[in-house]
Amino acid sequence: MAAKIKIPERKLQELKDICKSFNNEKGELINVLHKAQSSFGYLPAEVQEVIAQELNVSVAHVFGVVSFYTFFTMKPKGEFPISVCLGTACYVRGAEKVLEEFKKHLKIQVGETTADGKFSISCLRCVGACGLAPVVMVGDKVYGRVAPEGVKDILAEYNG
């Protein structure tokens, strides 16, 4: 008991404002989490503690929700988050080999971030661009028909 939650003032105020913009309604938890994640990049424990207090729900409930949905993450993503689509269309067109190539080049596993904080890799389930399979997203930019050989070039764009 008596957990002490440490958080910078600015962050605390922003979180309170986000919760308030949803009337501190507990039913809006997922919307609040979306907003908080887009502000802070991820949802560390202290952020969840504050949200729980503001929405008057238990932090166990908040974490139960955060850990249920793959969109939410408790780890900071890289400056350039790489998402490899592993939907069926991409899968049958060799997305797995593309993913392996990214892992090999960056020397990280899915869900990890490179030591310099530049890249992180995650998997997606269909971005709805099956016509372009296999698809890779870096941030909001979509790359279609990616071949394993093309991975180097994609990374080079961000390594300048």
Partner 1 sequence: MDIVKLTIDNKPLEVEKGTTVLKAARKAKIEIPTLCYFELDGMKIENKPGGCRVCVVEIAGRRNLAPACTTVCTEGMVVKTHSIRALNARRTVVELMLSDHPFDCLICAKSGNCELQTLAHKLGIREIHYQGAKSTYRKDTSPAIIRDIDKCILCRRCEMMCNDVQSVGALSGIYRGFNAVVAPAFEMNLEKSTCTYCGQCVSVCPTGALTEVDHSRNVINSLADPTKIVVVQTAPAVRAALGEEFGMEPGSLVTGKMVAALRRLGFNYVFDTDFAADLTIMEEGTELLDRLGKFLKGDKSVKLPILTSCCPGWVNFFEANFPEMRDIPSTAKSPQQMFGAIAKNYFAKKIGVDRKNMVVVSVMPCLAKKYECAREEFSVNGDPDVNYSISTRELADLIKLANIDFNSLPEEDFDRPLGESTGASVIFGTTGGVIEAAVRTAYEIHTGKTLNKVDFTELRGLENIRQASIDFNGVSINIGIAHGLGNARKLLEDIRAGKSKFHAIEIMACPGGCIGGGGQPYHHGNFEILKKRAAALYQEDAEKPLRKSHENPYIKQLYEEFLGKPMSEISHHLLHTHYFDKSAEIVVNE
Partner 2 sequence: MATHKQLRIALRNCGVIDPEKITDYIERDGYSALAKVINELGTVRTIDLMKKSGLRGRGGGGFPTGLKWEIASKNYADQKYVVCNADEGDPGAFMDRSVLEGDPHSVIEAMAICGFSIGATKGLVYIRAEYPLAIERLKIAINQAREYGLLGKNIFGSDFDFDIELRYGAGAFVCGEETALIHSMEGKRGEPTVKPPFPAESGYLEKPTNVNNVETFANIPPIILKGAEWFASIGSEKSKGTKVFALAGKINNVGLIEVPMGTTLREVIYDIGGGIKDGKEFKAVQTGGPSGGCLTKKHLDTAIDYDNLIAAGSMMGSGGMVVMDEDDCMVSIAKFYLEFTVEESCGKCTPCRIGNKRLFEILEKITEGKGTMEDLDKLRNLSNTIKDTALCGLGQTSPNPVLSTMDNFMDEYLEHINEKRCRASQCKALTRYIIDAEQCTGCTICARNCPVNAIKGERKQPHTINQDICIKCGVCYEKCKFNAISVK
Q: Does 91 bind partner 2 (CB under 8 A)?
A: yes
Q: Does 126 bind partner 2 (CB under 8 A)?
A: yes
Q: How far is the CB of 10 from partner 1 (least distance, A)?
A: 8
Q: What residues make contact with partner 1 under the rule CB under 8 A?
A: 1-9, 12, 45, 48-50, 53, 57-64, 67-68
Q: Is the peptide bond before 134 cis (omega within 30 degrees of 0)?
A: yes
3-state secondary structure 41-104: CCCCHHHHHHHHHHHCCCHHHHHHHHCCCCCCCCCCCCCEEEEEECCHHHHHCCHHHHHHHHHH
Report residue 34 as tokens: 């979306």
State how far the Cα of 60 lies from the Cα of 58, in Å rounded to an integer. 5
Considering beta carbons, is residue 71 or 157 the nearer one to partner 2? 71
What is the full DSSP assignment across 92-135?
Answer: HTTHHHHHHHHHHHHT--TT-B-TTSSEEEEEES--S-GGG-S-
Task: Fill in the per-residue mask, 8 to 37: x = in contact with partner 2 (CB under 8 A), - = not in contact.
Answer: -----------------xxxxxxx-xx---
Q: How far is the CB of 29 from partner 1 (least distance, A)?
A: 12
Q: How far is the CB of 48 from partner 2 (least distance, A)?
A: 13
Which of partner 2, partner 1, none interacts with 45 (beta carbon under 5 to 8 A by kind)? partner 1
Q: How far is the CB of 13 from partner 1 (least distance, A)?
A: 10
Residues engaged in binding partner 2 (CB under 8 A):
25-31, 33-34, 61, 64-65, 68-72, 86-89, 91-93, 124-131, 133, 140
